[in-house]
Amino acid sequence: MATKLESKLLSGRLPLLGKLSSGRQLQILTGALVFFLLVDAAVVWFDARQSTFGTIYIATVGKIRMLSQRLAKAAQQASQGNLEAFKQLRDSRDEFAATVALLATGGVASGVTLPATPAAVRPQLSVLETEWKKTERNADHGEGKALRGAPQQRRRRKLLRVHLVLPVPKVWVAVQTV
């Protein structure tokens, strides 16, 4: 013997819509289908957008990591009097500053308008920015100056402070987890 629910389901009438005509039921179901397809498209678009941002954040932090190593190498070579290293030091410093600014405030990267770094990563980025300001100042002191005499030793010490290990790995890990 069939229960009430089974008999309702087997009667061929849709719950809630069963009292409406077939044409009206079709209109409502088609509208619902279109609505849910639009919602699905919006979710896919948003997910693709966030994925793109995440990829660019990770690539940008990887670039910062590479630039911090290049800065250290150029500072060491500049402290030894290599004049070509001063150009590389200046270029690396400028690129590093621009990349940190991109993470902090957002901007265009790889043809995509990137928003500022998410709030979850802000504390690590703030540490990086603070350390970078100190390091950038040290890189500025030695840039383009010939190293001579007693001031040479002070400039070398300041240039070698660029070797400071910037807190890039923490930002790297934080960006990867967002």
pLDDT in tens, 85-120: 888 888 988 998 899 889 888 899 888 898 988 888
- pLDDT for 30: 96
| Nearest Cα to Cα of residue 117 among 68, 70, 67, 64 | 64
Instruction: Report H helices in the chain.
Output: 4-10, 22-79, 83-105, 122-142, 149-160, 168-177
| CATH class of residue range 23-177 | mainly alpha
Whether the predicted pLDDT of 147 surpasses 90:
no
Taking a C-beta distance cutoff of 8 angstroms, is the pair 24, 134 a contact?
A: no
